[in-house]
Amino acid sequence: MAKTSSTGDQKQHPKRRIKAPLLKGLPEFSPEIPLEIRQHLDEQLAKHDEMLQRVRARFDKPKNDGSTVLNWPTEIAEGLGEEVKWANSYERLPVLMKWLELAEANGGLRQWFTELGKRWTGCDNLTKHQRELVDTFNRYPGLWSKMMRTEERKAFDALPDSITIYRGCGPSNRVGLSWSLRREIAAKFPFYNRYRVAVPLLLEAKIPKYRAVALKLDRNEFELIALVQESDITMQKPLTGTSQKPEQAVLLT
């Protein structure tokens, strides 16, 4: 894992101009793309441009009281919180990732990780951004704890050095970031409509605690965000159940 400075994320840079988050590598619109999809993409780009304008206005506008020093971490925390609270479950994580570069450049990483932890269980497209998230976790292991509330940190500290975790998924998304400490909770997920897969599976894995990023308890799912490797998986069994009653999912022998 990459090591980071213990003070690098705390520095304030009153004269540094922010690096505004950008959409990179946008494809040219193809005439084969259906009109409604092109319109949706245009709307998303327009929303992004509006966000950039608000960000630039927030950071470029001089303080009315004549002060020259900005509290960058506070400004970033407030700006990010304002943007992400209006996003839906599929937009929250993209908004967070766009703010990451800004937080890295201007001393707001602690606030960024806190906001990520606050919004984590309300994000429904983790797999799409998994590579970016894993890279970020590996760069800043010293900030993982900022993703947890006080009670979550206490529960996390009580976990053993070797942790058994479970994941309900399909064959194509076995090694994900979201796992549960409870087998019966993990077994339900492949039967929820938004996570439903054709071949539902229950996985069991054992990981060393140093690869557990954070524990989230806010939806009673006992979710452990973990950097799991394929070799950590100790069991894979098929599941049967229905979307009407996901809590009744059972293992097939």
Question: In this structure, how many other beta carbons lie within 10 angstroms of the beta carbon of residue 207?
Answer: 19
List, as one string, the DSSP characters of 180-204: ES-HHHHTTGGGSGGG--SS-EEEE
**Lowest-confidence region among 72-76, 98-102, 120-124, 232-236:** 72-76
Quote the pLDDT of residue 2.
Answer: 45
Q: Which domain holds residue 40?
A: 35-146
Per the DSSP assignment, residues forming a β-bridge with 235 are 204
Going by pLDDT thresholds of 50, 70 and 90, the confidence category of residue 247 is low
Q: pLDDT digit string (tens) for 184-222?
A: 999 998 888 777 888 999 999 999 999 999 999 988 999
Asked whether residue 227 carries a pLDDT value surpassing 50, the answer given is yes
Q: Which of 123, 146, 169 is the last residue of a domain?
A: 146
Q: Is residue 91 part of a domain?
A: yes
Asked whether residue 118 carries a pLDDT value surpassing 90, the answer given is yes
Asked whether residue 176 carries a pLDDT value surpassing 80, the answer given is yes
Q: Is residue 14 part of a domain?
A: no
Question: In this structure, how many other beta carbons lie within 10 angstroms of the beta carbon of residue 146?
Answer: 19
Q: Which of 121, 146, 171 is the last residue of a domain?
A: 146
Quote the pLDDT of residue 240.
Answer: 82
Cα torsion 129, 137, 187, 180: sign: negative
| pTM, full prediction | 0.70
Burial 91-117 (b: 16+ CB within 10 A, else e): bbbbbbbbbbebbbbbbbbbbbbbbbb
Asked whether residue 232 carries a pLDDT value surpassing 50, the answer given is yes
The number of distinct structural domains making up the chain is 2
Going by pLDDT thresholds of 50, 70 and 90, the confidence category of residue 229 is very high
Residues 171 and 241 reside in one and the same domain? yes
Q: pLDDT digit string (tens) for 86-117?
A: 788 888 899 899 888 888 887 889 989 999 99
Residues 138 and 180 reside in one and the same domain? no
Quote the pLDDT of residue 192.
Answer: 80
- Among 7-21, 117-131, 153-167, the range with the most confident prediction by mean pLDDT is 153-167
Mean pLDDT of all residues in 29-57: 61
Q: Is residue 78 part of a domain?
A: yes
Q: Is residue 1 part of a domain?
A: no
Helix/strand/coil for 167: strand
Q: pLDDT digit string (tens) for 4-23?
A: 444 444 444 443 333 434 33
Residues 156 and 214 reside in one and the same domain? yes
Residue given tokens 């009315």 in the structure block: 64
Quote the pLDDT of residue 159.
Answer: 98
Going by pLDDT thresholds of 50, 70 and 90, the confidence category of residue 45 is low
Q: pLDDT digit string (tens) for 51-96?
A: 656 655 655 554 455 444 446 667 667 777 777 877 888 888 998 9
Residues 131 and 226 reside in one and the same domain? no
Q: Is residue 8 part of a domain?
A: no
CA distance 3 to 110: 16
- For residues 248 and 194, the answer to whether their CB atoms sit within 8 Å is no
Residues 47 and 142 reside in one and the same domain? yes
CA distance 77 to 6: 19
